[in-house]
Amino acid sequence: MSTTEDHLVKIENIKTEHHGQPDAEIPVRHVTRRSVLMNIGIGLNALVGLAITAPVIGYVLGPALRKKGFYKSWVSLGNIDRFPNGQTRFATFVTPYKTPTDGATDNTACWVRRLSDTSFQVFAINCAHLGCPVRWFPQSGLFMCPCHGGVYYQDGSRAAGPPERGMFEYQWKLVNGEIQINAGQLPTLSNQASVERKKSCLG
């Protein structure tokens, strides 16, 4: 076949780069009126660009820059009579901070353990390992996680498996015979003390 110069792989510049030989002909630069104007034009665009992108960053990262506690408020889980003494029951609530298109994802589940007339524990549904939905087994008194086999005791402390701590707990209070919890964000290790094994509250 015909081999032309065009078909050669050319990397000579790379070679000179590696051998450190400087390029022989560097065109001399002349400062002219036009080149100054061009540079000013570039500068103007950079300024305007900055002025425009700063708010855009705020727009994209806005959800992350809210003040601590912004998303949280007290929500009711209903009358405490729903939760028999000495038992652990499933409860749901609607998250307090919503957007118009959340659909069913606004609904959140949790486990309510009633220890006595006035004493409760409210556990997040999310496993302290990687957030899978933990299930309560009253017969064996254990919470089990379907994902990687995390297990917790009835008081939420870690029993076995990969979680490095006990279950996440919500702060709770009793108001007019109703139990309310302080909720509103997905419980993860970042809003919980991570290695602390004893009870801690969402915050």
Partner 1 sequence: MPRLNINPTKTALDVYGWLERRVQLEGFVKESALHPVPKSTASWWYVFGSAATALLVLQILTGILLALVYTPSASEAWQSLNYLNNHLILGWFLRAMHGWGSDFMIAVVLVHMMQVFMFGAYKFPRELTWLLGVGLLFLTLGMGFTGQVLRYDQDAYWGLGIGASIASRVPVIGPYAVHALLGGPIIGGATLTRFFALHVFVIPGLLMGFAGLHVWLVLKLGINEWPMPGRIVRRSTYVHEYNELAHKDGIAFVPGAVWKDLFFSAAIYGAVALCAIIFGPFGPGGQPDPTIIQTAPKPDYFFLWLYSILSYLPDSLETPFLLIAPPIGIAVLIALPFVAGEGEKHWSRRPVAVLTLVFLSISLAVLNHLGTYEPWSPHMTAWSGDPLPAEKVHAELPLERQGAIVFQGKQCRNCHEVGGLGGQRGPSLDAVATRLTYDQLVRQVLQGGGNMPAYGKNLSPAQTTAIVAFLETMHPLGQEPARNAATPNGPPDNMRGNPLTGDGPAQNVGENHPDSNPKPAPKDQKQTQGQTTSRNTKAGAKPGDTTVSLNTVPALVH
Binding mask 122-161 for partner 1 (x = CB under 8 A): ---xx--xxxxxxx-x-xxxx-xxxxxx-x-xxx-x-xxx
DSSP state of 196: -
- The Cα–Cα gap between 86 and 79 comes to 16
User: From partner 1, ligand FES, none, which one binds at residue 139 (CB under 5 to 8 Å depending on kind)?
Assistant: partner 1
Is the Cα torsion angle 162, 148, 160, 113 positive or negative in sign? positive
What is the H or E stretch that residue 169 is in?
Answer: strand 169-170
Nearer residue to ligand FES within complex by CB, 70 or 137: 137
Is the Cα torsion angle 85, 185, 94, 133 positive or negative in sign? negative
Nearer residue to partner 1 within complex by CB, 1 or 26: 1
- The Cα–Cα gap between 95 and 126 comes to 14
Footprint on residues 36-95 left by partner 1 (CB under 8 A): 60-61, 63-66, 71-72, 86, 90, 92, 95
Q: Minimum distance from CB of 198 to ligand FES (Å)? A: 19
Q: Minimum distance from CB of 155 to ligand FES (Å)? A: 17
Nearer residue to ligand FES within complex by CB, 164 or 178: 164
Under 8 Å between Cβ of 106 and 98: yes
Q: Footprint of ligand FES on this chain (CB under 6 A)?
A: 127, 129-132, 145, 147-150, 161-163
Q: Minimum distance from CB of 111 to ligand FES (Å)? A: 14
Nearest-5° Cα angle at 182, 113 to 95: 100
